Structure 1
């Protein structure tokens, strides 16, 4: 009998221990989950954490051979490679840059100029693309001349026989698909510059002609935009544009991706967002000056990341597989 009661007591004690363990285990599990969520949320100071995976790991970034795009694209490429992506960059014209992203043949671009310069492309492709980060908040554009020229506004070109004959009534342009070229064609029409023509070439050819003209103190008119090293290296001015054909205070330079990019390559989407949070005109000018001083764009990007390890860590922390 005694033995029987003893066994019953042991059984009751065992049940009590199991019940207490279950309660304690449940509390411990909740605390563990809470801590895990806290770690995930604080791993990079943003919305993403170590759970952000690569997804589609082969990316293509199309870019146009404009100074800013040449500077920032290798930087973005190298940060993405740090996370684990394989990145191919492809130099194209502006129209192909937009269409390849809209068709999902390319992942994203680093050189959209909105709302003015690339307005026609946005209207054509807006259902298939989205802006995912801003590199430069204000990037003014306009007809640009050496400061020694006696013209200050676009209207000053109208009927200006002396200047027209001196430059063969020609505005020296860049690649024909560029938005700034479309804006210049519109300016010619808006300001009634019937005698003037816009010649197309490339940014490199335009810059060479501009440098030669300045060395000889000759007149020249080109489409210009900021940020660009030419404004630091040469004494230039943009002509006043009261009709705001070139967009007034300036466009935003943004990263634009296909609408499926975030789902397809979530860590890459996060990388671009993090970079654009810190990227600004000052950062871009640092890259532009290094390139203009002779550095290859990829080397300028590598040197910047080497000199700014805190930014590289911030842009990559908690991302990848």
Structure 2
């Protein structure tokens, strides 16, 4: 009888030991899992600068959503282009998805090694003075000379702080045009231009691709022989410390690229069809998983 009791007690002891050991391993496993999840979570917030241009919205929304999917928090700050570059230089902002070169080279020179040209979105974006196609005799900037009064001696441009505004003023001087640049927001400029085009009156304004203006209206960019408004390289600019502070985010942004046609289609969806920008961006991500994985370095 004693032997039987001893055997039962031994068996019970072994069950308790094995059970405690298994529980300890399970607890340890849970702890490791939590540790792995903690290492994967990102405490960093990536701060985007956003200019009031339609071309800035799609790439910013796409990059923002992908970074959120990677575990980062994101913030978007709306300001003019001068404010964006100032914020990047101070570290108040981390990323600008819509820098135009050589137009924005002046900002890079001003802030030196505080900024970095991180990736090229698309290499050839046309910009310049634009007129409607019904102005058949106006095909170059020099054609405007002597007929400035037909335009009310005005050309319409974007906000005063933009590099394009400075270049337009330099163009007016270089061609000795009796014209004044009237500055406004992108929306204000387009409202003025559309009002005159609806009456088929002479109008000249600043234009660029990607933009819905070329989808909605029959336009032509005026040529010039003095090197103004060369084709632009549209690039991602970051604060120079981002690569150390958020290396995975930096790697993704350094691999960033998107076609000008894709951006223009998304602008049309947002501006013309009234779709939510975030929804449009999410649709692009879902339809371009291979490209997203490539940009993330997967």
TM-score normalised per structure 1: 0.76
Alignment correspondent of 2:288? 308
Deviations 1:80-132 (CA, angstroms, capped at 9, x unpaired): 111011111111111111111011111111111112x1132122012211111
Change over 3 Å in CA distance of 1:112–1:317 after alignment to 2:
closer
Q: List alignment gaps of at least 5 residues for structure 1.
A: 1-51
Distance apart, 1:216 and its partner CA: 1.7
Equivalent in the alignment of 2:204? 221
Q: CA deviation at 1:246?
A: 1.3
| Aligned counterparts, 1:154-303, within 5 A | 154-160=141-147, 164-193=148-177, 195-247=178-230, 250-276=231-257, 279-292=258-271, 293-303=273-283
The alpha-carbon distance between structure 1 residues 61 and 302, as it changes in their structure 2 partners (threshold 3 A), is same
> Which of these residues, 38, 56, 60, is aligned with residue 73 of structure 1?
60
C-alpha separation in 2, matches of 1:266 and 1:53: 13
The alignment partner of 1:80 has SS state of: helix
Quick check: 1:84 aligned with 2:71?
yes
Unpaired segments ≥5 residues, structure 2: 1-38
In angstroms, what is the RMSD of aligned CA positions?
Answer: 1.9
Higher relative contact order (CA 8 A, sep 6+): 1
> CA separation in 2, counterparts of 1:296 and 1:192?
44
Q: Give the paired residue count.
A: 258
TM-score normalized by the length of structure 2: 0.81
SS at 2:255 equivalent: helix
Q: For residue 74 of structure 2, give the secondary structure of its aligned residue in structure 1.
A: strand
Tell me, what secondary structure is at the counterpart of 1:68?
A: helix
